[in-house]
């Protein structure tokens, strides 16, 4: 049985022989959340294949049920959603509990804001600490109201949506796909055009899914790295089949493990290669990683490829701040790769890492320190002084953060002494089969 966020399960990873084999990591978390939400918002049956059955997505599914959808699992990763359609949502009788899932909570705030219903939002201790005003500020402009909230608009929160939401033009002050998506989801039920302008392009799964379900959405470049997204409100969303590709943010863990464990040679199948998600692969290739894309093809409307990854001599690089949105969840494991590189890796512009499931900048720095890896933080930049090794031997505090747990378990597979993480329970939020899958490749976990 895999762990769950309800159990505290420590684990140690130790130096392993070369990893070998073929794996397919679970479905993309961002697309899985959106599959449930778009299923809810269309009338009729949406089928999903390859859904990530992690705790985060299951929380979003439960919230969709409370808002009126009928959702059933019909096989492994195969789900059917009968939606109620835009305008057909019910006020839920009990609180929508998103557990650890920022994406579920923030996207659903957009959905509720665009409907004349009232809903309570809650989550675990990690989610209760995370900022929500970034999403609520534009939603209030669209007509939603905060009935009550914890300090600073945090969860637990009661949100009253607008029966007639006002379409707005919103320039996002932070590079956040969640903020963009919340505004667009509220805009679905607004008459006229809702526009989101982002200075740095962020993952575009909401825009793609809007188009896939029949909405009129146009995306044009804005400035050097940004985009302007215009949604024509009140579309008739048609239920459409969804095939979820493998999550590049989960693939990142076996990928970096194979790069740092000598003798490794693995294949990770069907990894989504959406350009807004593969900043880590670009960076690792710059570091000298041997990653070969095999059989590039289109699956479920996204480019995917099988990635052959072999142990590589890595060198330190400078990672530009503008690349952050395309690899925002991958910095913890990149910091691990950087420890095993020769020379300094400088990761610029990591301010958003401070507001993830944990303060990831602090958690990564503490994990590196506990395992004898020389590093420093300068402003919002993390600099890791790579020496082609990590001493290990440390105990890493994961702070309810799945990616901190997985990143440091990966470190332990190549460090001099084992690395222990204090809790693997939260890995179940995004990658429930991580431990058995890595063991299958030869990872030594005890
Ligand atoms: C996500 C967006 C990102 C990312 C998160 C998933 C999404 O968050 O970190 O894991 O699915 O839209 P931000 O929008 O806060 O950058």
d(CA 347, CA 267): 27
332-370 residue pLDDT tens: 999 999 999 999 999 999 999 999 999 999 999 999 999
**Rounded distance from Cα 325 to ligand 1 centre (Å):** 9
Determine phi and psi for 366, rounding to 5 degrees.
-65, -40
Binding residue numbers for 3-phosphoshikimate: 29-30, 34, 176, 178, 329, 356
d(CA 427, CA 411): 16
Q: Is the CB of 329 under 6 A from ligand 1?
A: yes
- CATH number for the domain that contains residue 347: 3.65.10.10
Determine, yes or no, domain membership for 6: no
Range of the structural domain that residue 222 is part of: 29-232
pLDDT at residue 4, as a whole number: 85
Question: Domain boundary at 232, 259, 282, which?
Answer: 232
Q: Is the CB of 204 under 6 A from ligand 1?
A: no
Q: Are 284 and 248 in contact (CB under 8 A)?
A: no
Pairing verdict, β 242-243 and 43-49: parallel
Give the residue from 371, 384, 291, 395 showing the smallest Cα distance to 334: 384
d(CA 161, CA 146): 9
Mean pLDDT of the chain: 97
Helices (H), 352-420: 360-370, 402-412
Determine phi and psi for 84, rounding to 5 degrees.
-105, -10
Q: Is the pLDDT of residue 312 over 70?
A: yes
**Residues 220, 163 share a domain:** yes
Residue nearest ligand 1's atom 13 by CA? 176
- Please list the active-site residues: 329
Helices (H), 42-82: 55-66
Determine, yes or no, domain membership for 292: yes
369-402 residue pLDDT tens: 999 999 999 999 999 999 999 999 999 999 999 9
**Rounded distance from Cα 362 to ligand 1 centre (Å):** 19
Q: How many CA atoms lie within 13 A of 257 on its CB side?
A: 35
Element (H, E) at 43: strand 43-49
Tokens standing for 215?
Answer: 């909405």
Split at pLDDT 50, 70, 90, the class of 197 is very high
Determine phi and psi for 123, rounding to 5 degrees.
-165, -175
Give the residue from 40, 88, 2 showing the smallest Cα distance to 427: 2
Whole-number Cα distances in Å, 67 to 61, 136, 160: 10, 20, 14
127-167 residue pLDDT tens: 999 999 999 999 999 999 999 999 999 999 999 999 999 99
Pairing verdict, β 381-387 and 342-347: antiparallel
Tokens standing for 236?
Answer: 């008739």
Query: What share of the chain in percent tops pLDDT 90?
Result: 98
Q: Is-above-0.85 flag for pTM? A: yes
Question: Domain boundary at 198, 232, 266, which?
Answer: 232
Determine, yes or no, domain membership for 239: no
Element (H, E) at 232: strand 226-232
Q: Is the CB of 328 under 6 A from ligand 1?
A: yes
Helices (H), 18-153: 29-41, 55-66, 102-113, 125-129, 133-141
d(CA 146, CA 137): 10
**Residues 219, 90 share a domain:** yes
Q: Is the CB of 415 under 6 A from ligand 1?
A: no
State mean pLDDT over 81-94: 96
Whole-number Cα distances in Å, 84 to 41, 239, 285: 6, 11, 45
Our measurement of the distance from residue 20's CA atom to the centroid of its chain's CA atoms, rounded to an integer in Å, reads 26
Give the residue from 330, 336, 402 showing the smallest Cα distance to 370: 336
State mean pLDDT over 404-418: 98
d(CA 116, CA 107): 16
**Residues 222, 159 share a domain:** yes
Q: Is the pLDDT of residue 2 over 60?
A: no
Q: Are 365 and 440 in contact (CB under 8 A)?
A: no
**Residues 414, 291 share a domain:** yes
**Residues 255, 142 share a domain:** no
Determine, yes or no, domain membership for 327: yes
Give the residue from 42, 19, 420 showing the smallest Cα distance to 213: 42
Q: Is the CB of 176 under 6 A from ligand 1?
A: yes
DSSP 358: S
Determine, yes or no, domain membership for 5: no
pLDDT at residue 1, as a whole number: 39
Question: Domain boundary at 181, 211, 232, which?
Answer: 232
d(CA 290, CA 311): 7
| Number of domains within the chain | 2
Does the N-terminal peptide bond of residue 156 adopt cis geometry, omega within 30 degrees of 0? yes
Determine, yes or no, domain membership for 92: yes
**Residues 411, 298 share a domain:** yes
**Residues 227, 281 share a domain:** no
**Residues 438, 300 share a domain:** yes
Q: Is the pLDDT of residue 3 over 90?
A: no
**Residues 44, 22 share a domain:** no
Q: Are 288 and 312 in contact (CB under 8 A)?
A: yes
Whole-number Cα distances in Å, 432 to 60, 234, 307, 438: 16, 37, 21, 11
**Rounded distance from Cα 86 to ligand 1 centre (Å):** 24
4-53 residue pLDDT tens: 888 899 999 999 999 999 999 999 999 999 999 999 999 999 999 999 99
**Residues 201, 53 share a domain:** yes
Tokens standing for 373?
Answer: 């890896």
Long-range pairs for 3-6: beta carbons < 8 A, 24 or more residues apart:
3/424, 3/425, 3/427, 3/428, 3/435, 4/55, 4/425, 4/428, 5/55, 5/99, 5/100, 5/124, 5/400, 5/425, 5/426, 5/428, 5/429, 6/425
Q: Are 182 and 159 in contact (CB under 8 A)?
A: no
Cα 213–217–220 angle (5° rounding)?
Answer: 140
**Residues 323, 281 share a domain:** yes
**Residues 183, 77 share a domain:** yes
Residue nearest ligand 1's atom 10 by CA? 329
Pocket test for ligand 1, best of 178, 201, 204 (most atoms within 8 A of CB): 178
């Amino acid at each position: 049985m895999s762990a769950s966020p309800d159990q505290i399960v420590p684990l140690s990873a130790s130096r392993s022989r070369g990893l070998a084999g073929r794996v397919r990591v679970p479905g993309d978390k961002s697309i899985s959340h959106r599959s449930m939400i778009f299923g809810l918002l269309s009338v009729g049956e949406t089928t999903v294949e390859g859904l990530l059955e992690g705790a985060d997505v299951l929380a979003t599914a439960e919230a969709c049920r409370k808002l009126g959808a009928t959702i059933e699992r019909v096989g492994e990763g195969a789900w059917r959603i009968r939606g109620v359609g835009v305008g057909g949502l019910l006020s839920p009788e009990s609180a929508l509990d998103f557990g650890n899932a920022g994406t579920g909570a923030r996207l659903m705030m957009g959905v509720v804001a665009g409907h004349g219903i009232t809903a309570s939002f809650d989550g675990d201790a990690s989610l209760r600490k995370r900022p929500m005003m970034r999403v609520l500020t534009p939603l209030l402009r669209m007509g939603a109201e905060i009935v009550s909230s914890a300090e600073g608009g945090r969860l637990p929160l009661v949100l009253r949506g607008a029966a007639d939401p006002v379409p707005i033009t919103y320039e996002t002050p932070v590079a956040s796909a969640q903020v963009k998506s919340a505004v667009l989801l509220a805009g679905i039920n607004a008459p006229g055009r809702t526009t989101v302008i982002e200075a740095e392009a962020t993952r575009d799964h909401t825009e793609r899914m809007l188009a896939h379900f029949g909405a009129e959405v146009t995306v044009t470049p804005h400035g050097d790295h940004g985009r302007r997204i215009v949604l024509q409100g009140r579309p008739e969303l048609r239920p459409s089949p969804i095939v979820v590709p493998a999550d590049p943010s989960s693939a990142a863990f076996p990928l970096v493990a194979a790069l740092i464990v000598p003798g490794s040679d693995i294949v990770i199948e069907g990894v989504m290669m959406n350009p807004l998600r593969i900043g880590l692969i670009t960076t690792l290739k710059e570091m000298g990683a041997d990653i070969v894309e095999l059989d590039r093809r289109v699956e479920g409307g996204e480019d995917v490829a099988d990635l052959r990854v072999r142990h590589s001599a890595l060198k330190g690089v400078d990672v530009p701040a503008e690349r952050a949105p395309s690899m925002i969840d991958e910095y913890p494991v990149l910091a691990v790769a950087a420890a095993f590189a020769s020379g300094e890796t400088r990761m610029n512009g990591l301010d958003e890492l401070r507001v993830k499931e944990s303060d990831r900048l602090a958690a990564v720095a503490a994990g590196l320190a506990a395992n004898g890896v020389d590093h420093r933080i300068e402003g919002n930049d993390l600099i890791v002084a790579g020496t082609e090794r990590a001493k290990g031997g440390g105990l890493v505090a994961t702070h309810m953060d799945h990616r901190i747990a997985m990143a440091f378990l990966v470190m332990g597979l190549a460090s001099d002494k084992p690395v222990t993480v204090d809790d693997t329970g939260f890995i179940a939020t995004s990658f429930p089969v991580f431990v058995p899958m890595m063991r299958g490749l030869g990872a030594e976990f005890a």
